[in-house]
Structures are given as structure tokens and as C-alpha cells.
Amino acid sequence: MSLNSIKTKIPAVGESVSEITSLLQHKFNHLHVTITKMDNKIISKFMLATEEGIEILLSLATEITYEKFGSITTNKILEQYIAGSFNRRTMIIEMNSLSNQWVVVFYNNEPVGYMRITSNGRRPQLLAKKRIIRLAEFGILKKYDDPQIPLSLLEKCLSVCRGYDGLWITEYAEHPLLPFFESNGFLRLQEVPDQYELPLPALYLFRENEK
């Protein structure tokens, strides 16, 4: 084999190695992105009235309430509402009540939202003959905008409430999560609530469970 023939083959091999290296780098980058996405663990869990559970719910309820109503009501009204509804004593009573089940959604082990499943609250008169349960205080911190987060909460609720005819929600009429509820089977009722937590327009939503 001549020296010239060897020289012509070496660059060809060099080019192949470069191509393989580039391909492997691309595959590695793709793998890294996939793993990163998989690491975003979302799980919804029942919250008990332990010290940790109480602190988690008080913190979430306060921050989510400010985010939800801060731009549409006065600070005085909002502070009075939070002081009356989300103080430690009230939270302990509500968490120990057999009428309530509290669920918190975690994103990478951080509590980012919560809901309360409850038999309390004035139900729509249109549904007076149905065996229904209420979904209350459904909220997610604004900075966590992954659509799988509210979905995790809702799926937990639907799983727990399968034995009922359906679920109802009494909610602020401009709540940003209304499209989410409606895209997941909730319908607006014509009946309007005669009272709400704050002096704001409200509405009823209802989702009938599959038989």
C-alpha cells in the first residue's frame, strides 16, 4: 500500500469520527432534555392536620388568595377575609372536620397548590335532589403554570368523588381557572349564587360523574 493511499484514507476516517461525535452530542442533549422534563414530578396528596400540614395550607391559602383577589378588591377587605378564613385556629378546625378533605399538589416536592373537597356550602337549588359534593378553594400559585399541575389536583378529586352524582363549584365569575374547569367537563349553571366569600360576582359550575 502506497503512502499516498494512506494519506487519502485518514481524512475520511477523521470526518466519520467528527460526524459520529456530533451525532452523539445531539443524542446526549436530547437525552438531557428528556430527563430534565421527567424530573418535574407532580403529585397530589391528602394533607393531614399535622404541624407541617397546617403551615403548608396556611401559606398556600394566604399567597393564592392575594394573587387571586389582590387586584380586584381593597387591601382592607382582603386582609379581613384572610384573617377570618385562614388563621391558624380556623385552619385546625377545618382540617379536623369530617366534612372536609384537603389535597395539596407538589411540584418537585414543593407545595404549589391546594383544594378542599367538602360537603359544606350552599348548593345550587337546581341540584337539590342530586347527591353531590363541592370542590372549593381550588388554587395554584401563579408562577407554576404547568397545565399538568391543576390537572393532577382535579384528577385526584374526581377519583375520590366517584361515588357521587357529581361535583359543584361556587367561584368568582372572572376566575382565570374557569376555562380549565370547563375544558374538563364542568358546565356553567344559569342559577347564580346569592352569596360568595367576598363581595364579588360569582357563578356555579357543575360536572356530572359518569355512571
pLDDT in tens, 147-189: 999 999 999 999 999 999 999 999 999 899 999 999 999 999 9
| Structure confidence at residue 196 (pLDDT) | 80
Q: For residue 188, how many other CB atoms are within 10 A of its CB?
A: 15
Query: Cell numbers of 185, please?
Result: 367537563
Distance between first and last Cα of the chain: 81
* Residue 135 φ/ψ, nearest 5 degrees: -105, 115
**Residue in this structure with the C-alpha cell 442533549, named with its chain if needed:** 29
- Positions of the chain with pLDDT lower than 50, given as ranges: 1-15, 17-24, 26-37
| Structure confidence at residue 35 (pLDDT) | 31
| Structure confidence at residue 40 (pLDDT) | 85
CA angle centred on 197, ends 196 and 202, rounded to 5°:
35
CA angle centred on 171, ends 169 and 174, rounded to 5°:
140
CB 182 within 8 A of CB 145: no
pTM, 2 dp: 0.78
| Structure confidence at residue 39 (pLDDT) | 63
**Residue in this structure with the C-alpha cell 384573617, named with its chain if needed:** 83
Q: What is the distance between the alpha carbons of residues 178 and 172, in angstroms, rounded to a whole number?
A: 9
| Structure confidence at residue 9 (pLDDT) | 44
| Structure confidence at residue 202 (pLDDT) | 93
**Strand duo 132-140 + 166-172: pairing:** parallel
